[in-house]
A and B are shown apart, each in its own frame.
Chain A
Amino acid sequence: MSAGGQQSPGPVVQVAGVNKVFETAGGGRTNALENIDLAIGADEFVSLIGPSGCGKSTLLRLIGDLTSPTSGTVTVNGKPARQARLDRDYGIVFQAPVLFDWRTVQANVALPLEVKGTPGTERDQRVRSMLELVELKDFARHYPYQLSGGMQQRVSIARALALEPSILLMDEPFGALDEMTRERLNAEVQRIWQETGTTIVFVTHSIPEAVFLSSRVVVMSPRPGRIVRIIDVDLPRPRTDDTRETARYFELITEVRETLRGRRVATSDGAAVASAERTMAEGAVG
């Protein structure tokens, strides 16, 4: 898949010429995002990675219409982002599980279905299948406080998928977890992605995680956030623990790291250099 992933029938997410400026308390202005152009095709798994403050979470929120761009447009599923949100085209997972203390696990997963107005039997069925998907069927009647952090995040993933959205937005969902749980959940997310065919936009701080999960990694610059480079991850699927030990995996990690550090990557692979140069010149996806 080349940079610019145009799949039929067209990109699922199209960010065009987006700038985001925040007003700060003292009356100043912060340029969170500058001139962002990004197209994400169906069934892609795209990671956004960059230093703190680079605006990756803001970009995710723009896609989800949880905030509006200062200029530029965000189109999701061919509609304005706002309409996509109102049509409930996407699910979101935050870094904190954000489960409601007063609801059981299954009631938490049912929340989007309740909001939409899905009738009871269909709702229960859907909740059950989501809990099975994240392998938490036996904990349906538990309360969030009885679950570990990793399990709570799995519940929040089940909830995000409850309405069968075409897009899943994930904002550093495993940032608060330990490395081993994180790797396990990475494998789960990958499996879920392949089983459901959802497009995933994933914000992370972790280079290995980005490389392991994604089909493309979008590397962003420090504030004001710009897209520095988009790296194709050509590791074969399905990716397993063994993948984490291949040479190509480490090469890609190095490539991402070097890009983050602001150094171009000179590789013997002519195609990679060419695409790197092209994306640097155009500043974004072609």
Chain B
Amino acid sequence: MTAGTAELAGPRRDPGARLIRQVRGQAPAIVVFVSVLVVWEVGVGALALQSFILPRPSAIATAFVAEWQTLQLAARNTLYEALGGLVIGVTAGVLTAFAVSRWARVREAVLPIAIGASAVPIIAAAPIMSNWFGILNPFAKMAIVILLVYFPMLINVARGLSQVEPSALELMQASAASEGQVLRKVRIPNALPYFFTGLKVCTTLSLIGAVVAEYFGGSSDVLGRVIVQSSSRLRFDITWAAIAITAISGIVMYVVALVVERAVIPWHASQRAAES
């Protein structure tokens, strides 16, 4: 479980020095960011060809502000689909993982199927969902998200419940613990880091899944349709603004997952390590 680390107590605290060190560490990355932005703004102006598909950052920002009403409504609808699908899919995946992990043989049979299922391009089923639930029904897109999210969560949590150090299990045997106690006291805490690994992947997956599912058809008030319709009208500034919102929403969801992770499993090695 833990390798004995050398000395006791936490790292020495000197916030000022740490901050400076961190900024200096990020310096190369910041340089790259600024230069790319500058080149983009300047270069695109110079190459008339590019501005067609790839407007200057300033143009995108303008469109962002101008179309804010449409964009924020679309974002809310798409987020509704993504989050709804995420919650349902994650819950279903976790419950299945619990059901499946009880018996090793069942797990060994189900896991490869789940892995195989995640090899299938699930997004291709988007039109079917639209046909089943109605093209304007948000649940059609939610269904795709559920399918996208279900398998990775199932795989991760099932692994977390079963990949416990054998010595820990022997320890519980030596204390004559019941199967239920082993589950509560060992398997579930052990599975938490795996759960969060899966969750972080699934947050981005859910949003992208919703947006791309919307490409296959749906109401106009969603990000996917805004992207498709604005690009067919050749209003690429709006297209990129919508994409920017998608990216930002995705980052926010991911960060929320990170924060929850830090709150729930502060003890895990990944949360302690200062190294990136």
- In the assembled complex, the Cα of A99 lies from the Cα of B165 at a distance in Å of 11
The interface residues of chain B lying within 8 Å CB-to-CB of A135 are: none
A147 to B269, CA, bound (A): 14
Residues on B with C-beta less than 8 A from A70 are none
Contact B1 A99 (CB under 8 A): yes
Interchain CB contact under 8 A, A145 and B269: yes
- Category for how many chain B residues contact A: 20 to 34
Question: Which of B168, B170, B269 lies in contact with A100, CB distance below 8 A?
Answer: B168
Are B2 and A148 interface neighbours, CB within 8 A? no
For residue B4, CB closer than 8 A to chain A, the reply is yes
Is B174 a contact partner of A101 (Cβ separation < 8 A)? no
**Chain A 193-209: CB-based contact to B (< 8 A → 1; otherwise 0):** 00000000000000000
Task: Report chain B residues within 8 Å CB of A86.
Answer: 176
A88 within 8 A of B: yes
Contacts of A85 in B (CB 8 A): 173-174, 176
Query: Is A143 interfacial (CB-CB < 8 Å)?
Result: yes
Interface 0/1 of A146-172, CB less than 8 Å to B: 111111100000000001000001000
Q: Chain B's interface: helix, strand, loop or mixed, by majority?
A: loop
Contact A111 B185 (CB under 8 A): yes
Of B8, B181, B185, the residue contacting A147 (CB under 8 A) is B8
**Of all chain B residues, which has the CB nearest A142?**
B8
Min CB distance B171 to A, Å, is 6
Contact between B2 and A115 (Cβ–Cβ < 8 Å)? no
Per the bound structure, the CA–CA distance linking A143 and B269 in Å amounts to 12
Q: Which of B5, B174, B192 contacts A145 (CB 8 A)?
A: B5
**Number of contact residues on A: which range applies?**
35 or more
Expressed in whole angstroms, the Cα–Cα distance for A86 and B172 within the complex equals 11
- In the complex, the answer to whether A101 meets B2 with C-beta atoms within 8 Å is yes
B2 proximity list for chain A (CB < 8 A): 97, 99, 101, 144-145, 152
CA distance A88 to B172 in the complex (A): 11
Contacting residues, chain A, for B272 (C-beta < 8 A): 145
- B153 to chain A minimum Cβ distance, whole angstroms, is 21
| Contact A87–B170 (Cβ < 8 Å) | no
Instruction: Spell out B's residues near A (CB within 8 Å).
Output: 1-10, 165, 167-168, 170-177, 181, 185-186, 189, 192, 265, 267-269, 272
Residues of A at the B interface (CB closer than 8 Å) are: 64-66, 85-88, 90-92, 94, 96-102, 111-112, 114-116, 139, 142-152, 163, 169, 176
What are 6 A-B pairs with beta-carbon distances under 8 A?
A85-B173, A142-B8, A143-B267, A145-B267, A150-B4, A151-B8
Closest 9 CB pairs of A and B: A149-B4, A98-B167, A112-B175, A92-B174, A144-B2, A102-B189, A115-B177, A115-B175, A86-B176
